[in-house]
Structure 1
Amino acid sequence: MSVLSAPHFHNEEAAILHLESILWPNGANCPHCGSVERLNKLKGKSVRPGLWKCYACRKQFTVKVGTVFESSHVPVHKWLQAAFLMASSKKGISAHQIHRTLEVQYNTAWFMAHRLREAMRVLNIEPMGGEGSIVEADETFVGGLEKNKHARDRKHQGRGAVGKEAVFSLVERGGRVRSTHVPSVSAETLGKVMREQLYTDTHLMTDDARQYIPLGKHFMMHESVNHSIGEYVRGGTHTNTIEGYFSIFKRGMKGVYQHCNAKHLKRYLCEFDFRYNERDTTDAERMITALQGIKGKRLTYRA
Structure 2
Amino acid sequence: LDQAKVLDEGLSVRKAATRLGVHSTTAFRWRHRWLACPREAKAVHMAGVVEADETYQLLSYKGQPARLARQTQRAPRRRGGKAAKRGVSSEQVPILVMRNRSGETSDFVLPNTGKAALKAVLPQALADDSVLCSDGSNHLHQAAVELAIEHQAINMSAGERIRGPWHVQNVNAYHSRLKTWLRRFNGISTHYLPNYLGWFRALDRNARLRVDAVSLLALAIGPGPSALNAN
TM norm structure 2: 0.78
Equivalent of 1:247, from 151, 162, 176? 176
Q: Are residues 1:86 and 2:7 paired?
A: yes
Whether 1:289 aligns to 2:218 is yes
Say whether 1:190 aligns with 2:118.
Answer: yes
Q: Which runs of 5+ in 2 are unaligned?
A: 60-80, 226-231
The residue aligned with 2:201 is: 273
Once the two structures are TM-superposed, the CA of residue 172 in structure 1 deviates from its matched residue by 1.5
- Which residues of 2 match residues 1-303 of structure 1 at below 5 A? 80-87=1-8, 89=9, 92-122=10-40, 127-130=44-47, 133-143=48-58, 146-150=82-86, 159-217=87-145, 218-253=147-182, 255-278=183-206, 279-293=208-222
- What is the number of equivalent residue pairs in this alignment? 202
Larger deviation, residues 105-114 vs 286-295: 286-295
Task: Describe the SS at the equivalent of 1:109.
Answer: helix
* Percent sequence identity over aligned pairs: 23
Q: Scaled by the length of structure 1, what TM-score is found?
A: 0.61
Q: Residue by residue, what CA displacement relative to the aligned partner does 1:175-224 show, whole Å, maximum 9, x if unpaired?
A: 31111111001111011100233223111100111112222323452111
Q: How far did 1:240 drift?
A: 1.0
1:259–1:284 Cα change, 3 Å: closer
Contact 1:95 1:106 in 2 (8 A): yes
Amino acid at match of 2:4: A
- Quote the Cα distance in structure 1 between the aligned partners of 2:114 and 2:139: 6
- Structure 2 equivalent of residue 8 of structure 1: none
Kept after mapping to 2: 8 A contact 1:121/1:274: no
Report the counterpart of residue 6 of structure 1 in structure 2.
none
Q: 1:214 to 1:143 in 2, by over 3 A?
A: same
SS in 1 for 2:209: coil
Q: Give the Cα–Cα distance (whole angstroms) in 2 for the partners of residues 122 and 162 of structure 1.
A: 26
How far does residue 285 in structure 1 lie from its aligned partner after superposition? 4.3
C-alpha separation between the residues in 2 aligned to 1:294 and 1:199?
Answer: 23
The one-letter amino acid of 2:28's match is: W
**2:53–2:97 Cα contact (<8 Å) kept:** yes
Structure whose alpha-carbon radius of gyration is higher: 1
Unaligned runs of 5+ in 1: 1-79, 151-158, 297-303
